[in-house]
Structure 1
Amino acid sequence: LWDVRRADRVRPLGAPLRGHQDTVTSVAFARGGRLLATASEDSTARLWHVGAGTRARPAGEALRGHEEEVNAVAFAPDGKTLATGSDDRTVRLWGVGKAEQADHASPLGDALTGHRGEIRALAFAPDGKTLATGGGDHAVRLWDVADPARAEPLGQELTGHLDTVTTVAFSPRGDALASAGYDLTARVWTLDADRAAGYACDRTAGVLTRADWEERLPRLGYREVCEGR
């Protein structure tokens, strides 16, 4: 941890946080900045209390459940749920509770499966109801996590990248998702159905046949949205 309040005098805050047995791959703060999650190639994630004015310390035992190295961690906006993604091609959700009392994190439901490659990227939507994941199968997936204990896939995978997807991020309003990968590209995905349909209509001179729709908007049910445009 580093004190960055003065850009010209960045300094360490306490000793390094030790506990992982292999390379640390990812870090994420929960809302409020009093709880930190870390991921490691030792196949675990860990939580740390890092509240202001107190010495950083482990928050309970390591989170075990993945069979291979953990590449990514992300907190839901409310800080009560942690997502972890691994080389074992699964995502796991953990109930964290309040930061001050987070000395034990519990698995929430079964592991999320569907990716055909390692998970490299995680991001929660601003409302916390959707989780985006990206990985070594070149795909981005969306998950309905409104109830983390009953999370399920949301629509079809988003394809277009030609190599591993390394990062995903939602727009502040949650109506668009950005992804980037080893194929040297970044992509922006429109998640608002009306906005996506309007975009397609504007680029087809207002004429969007059923065949055009299926080509340009294969993940949305057909609607005659171009009428009157």
Structure 2
Amino acid sequence: MNRAALRRAARTEWGPLYGAVWGTLTAKRLRALPMTLTAVVLTAVFQIVQNQSWGFEPVQRLGSVQAQLPWWLALLRTPLSLFVPALDLPVWGALAQILFVFGIAEACLGMRRTLAVAYAATLAGTMYARLAIAIGPHSVLGLPPDAAKVIDTGPSAAVVGLALYVSWRYRAWFTCSVVVLAMVCEVLVKPNLAGKEHIAAVLAMLLLCLGDEAWRRRKAPQQPHPQRGQRSGAPATRS
């Protein structure tokens, strides 16, 4: 494949998404990403605090989620759990994921929808963890009882969900397929709690995307026709 063909493929894959992100950032600059920047700062603060002798316990009480916790407590901690870095992973990875994926999503979708999608993906993983432990390790869908004690924090499920939702919404089908394939490979190589939660997030986002697609198609007759050069189904503007 020559360079011209690669450029055409890249333009087809990422053109609408790039246009949406660049247009928003050009118009509003950093004011377009208040939630993303707040999330980066909050994650960095949690990382610093939880590594202090006095700070680990308060951070865990605020944002640590485990499958063995009562439902009400897990749900109460979930909003902050996205921004508590996982203890076994480098914090720069979480910061990079939030800045890049959350930033693109917020520029395209707006703050409220980005948060809604992120929490939907995270809650899908949280609910799956309890179901999988109840099923038990004898099933491919299950998890061993010890998984109930695993501290489940960090933005990874939200990042997976946002990447899938945004790529679907902007018709970046290759990117969408890569995200799904990467999560499948992850769980095949390492079928632990995190890997299976990511699959749960993928399934939840696929259902959400299909529902969103059906809803927008029902509204399509009431909307003006797409502008010339815009791919059918791709949003013309940030919603």
TM-score by length of 1: 0.25
Greater strand fraction, Structure 1 or Structure 2: 1
* Greater Rg by CA: 1
TM-score by length of 2: 0.24
Greater helix fraction, Structure 1 or Structure 2: 2
